[in-house]
Amino acid sequence: MKHFLKQTVLAMLFIPAIAWGQNEITITDADITAGANVVWSANNTYILNGLVFVDSAATLTIEAGTVIKGMPGQGESASALVVARGGKIYAEGTAEKPIIFTAFADDINDRTDMPLDARGLWGGLILLGNARLNSSPGQSAIEGIPTTERRGLYGGQDDEDNSGVLRYLSVRYGGTDIGAGNEINGVTFGGVGSGTVVEYVEVVNNQDDGFEFFGGTVQTRYLISAFNGDDSFDYDEGFRGKGQFWFSIQAADAGNRAGEHDGGTSPEDGRPYAKPVIINATYIGSGANSANTDNDVVLKIRDNAGGFYYNSIFTDFNGAGVSIEDLASGEDSRARLEAGDLVLANNIWFAFGAGNDLAAIAKGKDWVKNYLSANNNVVVDPRLGGISRSNDNGLDPRPAAGSPALSGATKLDDGWFVKTDFLGAFSSTHNWADSWSYLATFGFLIDQTTGVTEEAGLNIPADMALYQNYPNPFNPETNISFSLKNTGPVKLTVYNSLGQIIATLIDGQRNAGVHKVVWQARNVSSGIFFYRLEAGGQVLSKKMIYMR
């Protein structure tokens, strides 16, 4: 009920502030019928009004740069896009023009219009396919939509089933509750097969899980689950897909497990076993000292689940590292581990509220501790570039220079996986989340256009670097930082949007190194401002927003 009330109030507050353009097209369930071929253009904004199905044998193509918004609503009035079994979606964005699914109230060009904790304002994206499940009778009704809806069924016998393409996709502010705690995940895969392409997909601020996999064999790369209300990555019903470069960061005050991994429910010992292979994951929790006690464990593995985690980094969780089901009788996840169906190998664990050693990470279970130790799981600082849960450009999930995560990766003999030398979702030099993701465009990730110090994992440009101010937007003051490779004259000025100089913050000699200046903006009006750094024969500038 608490979630329902919060979502309802947020929706009521936001709707009056919407100012729509001329190219809005409202979409209802009648618009993508069986056998239809529908194209959504980037010239329009599409408004989902209720549950919209891509029916069997229908195809929905979404152009790069298209924005899709979900109307608010609870219960059977919830808005979501559902690709039914036999339907296909081709949502192929680019790094320059990602496809954005968001709430009705969201002005995607305004970084300040949505609270950082806004969740549950619409439904989400659901893909349903014909791949195998391990539940009886081999097909299920997907969670998050009414069980009376026959198009909500998933599962079959085709593990190579193809539901289409998702590439460069950002899904924001979803997870509305349809009743009795039945919330919609950000992106849901139900019985989706390995013929489906999923790369560079992000879920931010969902009320429920970020991604959930129910059975199937879908293979995914470059996934981001950020600040979601429940689990980051959840699987069930015999999921057997592959995943590489999965990144999760949880809010300081919300989020349960990074991985909640169930084998099956009806029955728990159903075949095929859940045995996905996940390599190069980086999971960041709510903080080792966070008040979020729901952040109790990184990986919860139960209901006879198996699975494989290699070359991954797990850090900054309030609780412990891993909980593995161990029943008094019958099949369980401990049996899967002992049979080789559950493997946790060559991973880094660090900064846990429960304690920073393998015993605490294993929740005091000696057999789990001994297993982790024997399979090259180590407790060591991965030296990530920076952890921040605010839009202060402080998040850098890449391992810094000297990190133990930069070498020693296990190489899997599999043609699908990209072979890397590093552990975790990112190398030291490349952040694949840059430019296209919400985390990048809304100022969470470090600004890679200027670089940072070597300690944070990047090289300073030949003469200088100018960093994004923080906080941004700000009121009444903000921090502006820059770095110099050589000592020399420096000029740092602030301009308004008309090009007029508002303030000169520095005009004189400065030593090599990193410098920070605080600008007090109490005597100017709200608006967009620019700060300009002149040094070493170069000029750099950036934009900032002051809101009184």
Same domain, 447 and 472: no
Same domain for 448 and 342: yes
Question: Do residues 302 and 363 both lie within one domain?
Answer: yes
> Do 276 and 253 touch, CB atoms closer than 8 A?
no
**150 and 202 co-located in one domain:** yes
Question: What letters, b where the CB count within 10 A reaches 16 and e where it falls short, cover 60-96?
Answer: bbbbbbbbbbbbbbbeeebbbbbbbbbbbbbbbbeee
Phi, psi (rounded to 5 degrees) for 308? -130, 125
State the Cα–Cα distance between residues 430 and 416, nearest whole angstrom: 20
Is 377 in contact with 349 (CB distance < 8 Å)? yes
HSE, side-chain direction, 13 A CA sphere, residue 62? 27
Residue 109 domain flag = no
Measured distance CA(187)–CA(200) in Å, rounded: 13
Decide if 263 is inside a domain: no
* 3-state per-residue secondary structure call for 83-152: ECCCCEEEEECCCCCCEEEEECCCCCCCCCCCCCCCCCCCCCEEEECCCCCCCCCCCEECCCCCCCCHHH
Residues 184 and 47 in one domain: yes
Show Cβ contacts of residue 47 under 8 Å, excluding neighbours closer than 6 positions: 24, 25, 26, 27, 68, 69, 70, 71, 104
Residue at 239 is within a domain: no
Q: How far is CA 87 from CA 29, 56, 58, 110, in A?
A: 14, 4, 5, 34
Closest CA to 226 of 177, 274, 187, 263: 187
Could you tell me if 41 and 180 lie in one domain?
Answer: yes
Do 10 and 155 lie in one domain? The reply is: yes
Task: Work out how many domains the chain is built from and give that number.
Answer: 3
| Residues 447, 497 share a domain | no
223 lies in the same domain as 149: yes
Query: Same domain for 135 and 153?
Result: yes
Last residue of a domain, one of 453, 488, 503: 453
* Cα–Cα distance, 270 to 290 (Å, whole number): 38
- Show pLDDT as tens, one digit a residue, over the chain (548 residues): 334 444 444 444 444 333 344 499 999 999 999 999 999 999 999 999 999 999 999 999 999 999 999 999 887 789 999 999 999 999 999 999 999 999 999 999 888 889 999 999 999 999 999 999 999 999 999 988 888 899 999 999 999 999 999 999 999 999 997 765 678 999 999 999 999 999 999 999 999 999 999 999 999 999 999 999 999 999 999 999 999 999 999 999 999 999 999 999 888 889 999 999 999 999 999 999 999 999 999 999 999 999 999 999 999 999 999 999 999 999 999 999 999 999 999 999 999 999 999 999 999 999 999 999 999 999 999 999 999 999 999 999 999 999 999 999 999 989 999 999 999 999 999 999 998 999 999 999 987 654 333 333 333 334 678 888 777 777 888 889 888 888 889 999 998 877 778 899 999 988 887 788 888 887 788 788 889 898 877 888 888 888 76
* Domain region containing 169: 1-15+24-104+120-230
Do residues 369 and 298 both lie within one domain? yes
0.75 exceeded by the pTM? yes
